[in-house]
Every structure is written in C-alpha cells, then in structure tokens.
C-alpha cells in the first residue's frame, strides 16, 4: 500500500476518535498545475484525522522546498512554502452522484475500503502554496528593458542619445522599416 493511502478502519470503529499523522513523501502528480512545480526532497505534512459521524475530517499543514523562477529577473531561487488544508472524506454512499461536482469529489475524497488517499489533498495544498508570480526578493529590479541585463547585478540606465545603441533596439528599428504593416496601431 503506498504510504499516502491511509488506513482509517481504526478511526471508523471509534466515534469521535482522532489520530495525528506525519507524512514525509514525494507527491505523485495528481493535481492540475502541479507539473510546473519543482519540489526538492519530500513534501512534509502534519495531519489530524478525526472521525465524525462516519466521515473522516482531515486538517493540517504542508511544507515543501521548491525551486521557482523569478518573474522579474528570470533567475531561479529556492523557497520553503507552507499551506494549511482541510478536507472531509465520506463514504461512497454519501456522495450525490447526480451532481457532476460531487462525482468529481467522490473520485478524490471517498473512503475506499476503509482507506483514504492523501495525495489529492496534499497536491492541492502544494499548488496553493506556490506563489503564482514568484519574486526572488521583494525589491528585485528585474531585467533592463533596453539591453536585457540583470539590473540587480549591474544597475544602469540608458540615455536616449546613447552612442552604443543596443543591438536589439537597432534590430527592431530595422524590422519595423521592413515590415511597416506591423507598426500599425502601436
Ligand atoms: Zn528576481
Ligand atoms: Zn540596459
């Protein structure tokens, strides 16, 4: 049994019982958006599982070391991210299969043969944990819009009358001269 399929038969036998588990594992990709995340080492999670009227309530926090690409300077950097999560696992018979959303939920969060799959819950938390437009640091200056150099490494400005006109600006001028139709509306 994969470590992320957890046996809850003991909890289901005792109404109101709870158990705290620690997970340290790599996450198989189970959730849309997860494939763009580079995780270094295992994902860590502390999860409290609680029996409540035949359902299992799961609640906890996830932590992971990820490598991200800064949206401004395009350098990669490492970050430890964390995210709280909460989910309710129900018996198959507790889902309303008339409802497409419930059918989707059932596939991910049903108690199946006295077991629950922690993977979708943790994957979802991981996707939420990662910032959508990451920045290597709050004050990152990004790349120079004229020459493309990293302004954090080499702060500089360009003059309009710059003698050494950057190649790409010259190339752009040349291109627009040759393709005047592309210049419309700009
Ligand atoms: Zn940056
Ligand atoms: Zn520049």
Distance 27 CA to ligand 2 centre (A): 41
In this prediction, residue 20 has a pLDDT band, given cuts at 50, 70 and 90, of very high
Each residue of 116-172: pLDDT tens digit? 999 999 999 999 999 988 999 999 999 999 999 999 999 999 986 655 556 667 777
What mean pLDDT, rounded, does the chain reach?
A: 89
Residue range 54-61: mean pLDDT, rounded: 98
Give the C-alpha distances (Å, rounded to integers) separating 141 from 40, 72, 79, 117, 159.
Answer: 26, 7, 19, 43, 18
Residue 89 has pLDDT above 80, yes or no: yes
pLDDT for the residue 34: 81
Distance 170 CA to ligand 2 centre (A): 14
Q: Are 15 and 36 in contact (CB under 8 A)?
A: no
Element holding 114 (H helix, E strand): none
pLDDT for the residue 163: 55
Residue 86 phi/psi, 5° resolution? -155, 135
Distance 87 CA to ligand 1 centre (A): 35
In this prediction, residue 30 has a pLDDT band, given cuts at 50, 70 and 90, of confident
The whole-model pTM stands at 0.77
Distance 139 CA to ligand 1 centre (A): 8
Q: Is 152 exposed, middle or buried (0-12, 13-18, 19+ CB in 10 A)?
A: middle
Element holding 139 (H helix, E strand): none
Residue range 7-24: mean pLDDT, rounded: 97
Residues with CB under 5 A from ligand 2 (ion): 144, 146-147
pLDDT for the residue 1: 40
pLDDT for the residue 186: 45
Q: What's the rounded Cα separation, in Å, for the pair 102 and 124?
A: 17
Residue range 22-51: mean pLDDT, rounded: 90
Distance 173 CA to ligand 2 centre (A): 17
In this prediction, residue 178 has a pLDDT band, given cuts at 50, 70 and 90, of confident
Rounded (10°) CA dihedral 145, 149, 155, 159? -50
Distance 54 CA to ligand 2 centre (A): 63
Distance 155 CA to ligand 2 centre (A): 8
Distance 81 CA to ligand 1 centre (A): 17
Residues with CB under 5 A from ligand 1 (ion): 70, 72-73, 136, 140
């Amino acid at each position: 049994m994969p470590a992320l399929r957890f046996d809850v038969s003991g909890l289901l036998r005792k109404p109101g019982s709870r158990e705290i588990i620690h997970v340290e594992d790599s996450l198989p990709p189970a959730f849309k958006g997860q494939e763009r995340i580079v995780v270094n080492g295992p994902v860590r999670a502390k999860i409290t599982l609680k029996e409540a009227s035949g359902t299992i309530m799961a609640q906890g926090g996830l932590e992971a070391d990820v490598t991200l690409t800064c949206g401004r300077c395009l350098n990669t950097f490492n970050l430890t991210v964390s995210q709280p999560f909460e989910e309710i696992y129900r018996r198959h018979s507790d889902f309303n299969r008339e409802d497409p959303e419930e059918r989707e939920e059932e596939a991910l969060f049903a108690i199946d043969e006295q077991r629950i799959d922690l993977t979708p819950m943790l994957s979802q938390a991981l996707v939420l944990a990662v910032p959508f437009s990451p920045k290597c640091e709050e004050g990152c200056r990004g790349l120079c819009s004229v020459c493309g150099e990293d302004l954090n490494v080499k702060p500089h400005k360009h003059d309009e009358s710059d003698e050494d006109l950057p190649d790409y600006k010259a190339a752009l001028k040349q291109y627009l001269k040759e393709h005047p139709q592309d210049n419309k509306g700009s």
